[in-house]
Structure 1
Amino acid sequence: MKRLAFALSSLLGVAPFATALAQSAAPPTQQQAQAADTRQGGTFNAYGSQIFYQVSGSGTPLVLIHGYPLNGGLFAYQQAGLASRFQVITLDLPGFGKSSPIVGGVGSTAIYARYVIALLDHLGIQKAVIGGHSMGGIITQEVYREASNRFAGMILIDTISQPASIIEQSEWAGFGVQATRQGVPSVLPNLVPMLLTGNTLLNIPAVGTAIENIIDEASVSGMQTGAETLALRPDYRPVLPTISVPTLVLEGVDDGVYAFPIAQSIQAAIPGATLSLIPDAGHVSIFEQPAAANQAITAWADAAKL
């Protein structure tokens, strides 16, 4: 979906305004990326769906919400790399990964948000740093609109606040139709190159394979409801000035889905927010450059005394 990104001239024009530039770090090694998925966690029932979640580490609760059409495995390097600083909590949204689909098969940011709040209630957590990647970042904004009292801080990763354009609506709908007619694996050739940089795909192909494996765990129902959610999402720009907790906007410099001028505009709209740009990273910056992403999160949390 590179045509949804801003032009290169726009990218160059806003680069000096980033409040922080994360130091470059090596992406996952071939061996790390080839590691089998051995995710183990718990499940609980919410609104008729069985929801899979993982908890690791201790400290300030950090809840991370994955994007479309991924699952909590996206945050494997945060589960491992941030566990000494946070209690890292991830979930598979209904219809993705190890979670069963939404009962009724209708998706929206409000519907997904209630599963996040239900997880907090299930774990007995009153306040947490809550963050999300892409669709998960949009859901994070919805959770704040519904339950701002549950936030100690916020992290928005490679995401957006504005509603989908007509072009974007059509593209997201297309992924749902493609998965329905030809199966989830059929979307991989179109979707994976949107998520990673060409350099990673060329030089560390196992990272692409790892992302493919995560996507392949999605159900057709999840593909449909997630696509519907992205295509018909509300406008969250009015929410941004109301955010009163410490906020980190984390963005891959080479994000081809929601380019970093979008992140810069989100950061400018949230009082006191920090923008951290991750070099050599695309739309899944937190997976493609986990060391740099983890460093940015830790530095921000330390500065905010979270």
Structure 2
Amino acid sequence: MRRVGTAVFEEITIGYEDRGSGEALVLVHGHPFNRSMWRPQIEHFARAGWRVIAPDLRGYGESSVVPGTTPLETFVRDTVALLDRLGIERFVLGGLSMGGQIVMEFHRLLPDRIRAVVLADTFAAAETAEGRAARHAMADRLVREGMDGYAREVLTKMIAPHTAAHRPEVAHHVLGMMTGTPPEGAAAALRGRAERPDYTELLADIAVPVLVVVGADDEYTPVSDARVLHERVPDGTLAVIEGTAHMPNLEREGEFNTVLADFLDGLPAVPTPAAQRAS
């Protein structure tokens, strides 16, 4: 079953896709994208017996644009409100890039709701002073100039050059997501992300299984960043997807889906209500 809709909360509207049935898999997109970046995973895992929920973060896709600054905690609170509306209490939570940092913030705030974690092409460290300045400068640029120039500059960092050359449909999809993102929404997220906390020491507190995935040629979050995540979580699995950059879930969706499926298949079974009562 495919359900696409919007949920209206006190101040904003959140667009989302909710497909399939079974245990919940929640996927959080990165910047400057929208929920359609997870299309291959939504389709695959809904067929495989999962209920896959992919929201548009505020400022992106079909969700409301709120200018100013959007901290990662705000994205978490929006996601919680949506999941509560959908009646989903516990779930596997995955995110890519900024989405992965939102996942780490979610675990900092509400660890008991997470059954397992997927961290794709992301990193845990706080921003450096130079990095904060760069994010604020980019936010100002996007508001001033729009998304088009930036999107074309970074396309072959988001996806590997050979992907852009040989899979034009992927390049078109990624470029379309970036150019279609409202500049004020992207800028608000950049400002909030610049001030995020350092999650490095918190990784040891993640008491559920963790899958770390990274593109072998990712320049934004290289394999060395993924190894830090993998080494610091107590129960982690690391997968490096060859021939991909920052978006392995789109560049080699088959390999990414296989890695994620193996991880999900290995999770401890969720006790049935009868088993919980018996215990």
Q: TM-score, normalised by structure 1?
A: 0.84
Structure 2 gaps of 5+ residues are 270-279
The answer as to 2:23 corresponding to 1:60 is yes
Structure 1 CA distance, aligned partners of 2:57 and 2:244? 24
CA contact under 8 A between 1:175 and 1:223: conserved in structure 2?
Answer: no
- 1:117-156 to structure 2, matched below 5 A, reads 117-156=80-119
Structure 1 CA distance, aligned partners of 2:182 and 2:118? 27
What secondary structure does 1:41 align onto? strand
CA contact under 8 A between 1:59 and 1:84: conserved in structure 2?
Answer: no
CA contact under 8 A between 1:69 and 1:226: conserved in structure 2?
Answer: no
CA apart distance, 1:98 = 0.8
In the alignment of these two chains, the number of paired residues is 267
CA apart distance, 1:283 = 0.5
Structure 2 CA distance, aligned partners of 1:215 and 1:187? 9
Structure 2 CA distance, aligned partners of 1:178 and 1:57? 40
Partner of residue 169, structure 1: 132
Cα deviations by residue, 1:106-127 (Å, 9 ceiling, x for unpaired): 2111111101111110111110
What secondary structure does 1:250 align onto? strand
Runs of 4+ in structure 1 deviating by more than 6 angstroms, as ranges, are none
Specify which structure has the bigger relative contact order, considering alpha-carbon pairs within 8 angstroms and separated by 6 or more residues: 1
CA apart distance, 1:40 = 7.0
The answer as to 2:74 corresponding to 1:74 is no
CA contact under 8 A between 2:230 and 2:238: conserved in structure 1?
Answer: yes
Partner of residue 95, structure 1: 59
- 1:36-47 to structure 2, matched below 5 A, reads 41-47=4-10
- 1:1-306 to structure 2, matched below 5 A, reads 41-85=4-48, 86-102=50-66, 105-305=68-268
CA apart distance, 1:47 = 4.0
Structure 1 gaps of 5+ residues are 1-38
Q: Percent identity?
A: 29
The one-letter code of the counterpart of 1:231 is A
CA apart distance, 1:275 = 0.7
CA contact under 8 A between 1:249 and 1:276: conserved in structure 2?
Answer: yes
Structure 2 CA distance, aligned partners of 1:192 and 1:46? 34
Aligned-residue RMSD, C-alpha: 1.5
Structure 1 CA distance, aligned partners of 2:96 and 2:86? 22
What secondary structure does 1:119 align onto? helix
Structure 2 CA distance, aligned partners of 1:218 and 1:204? 22
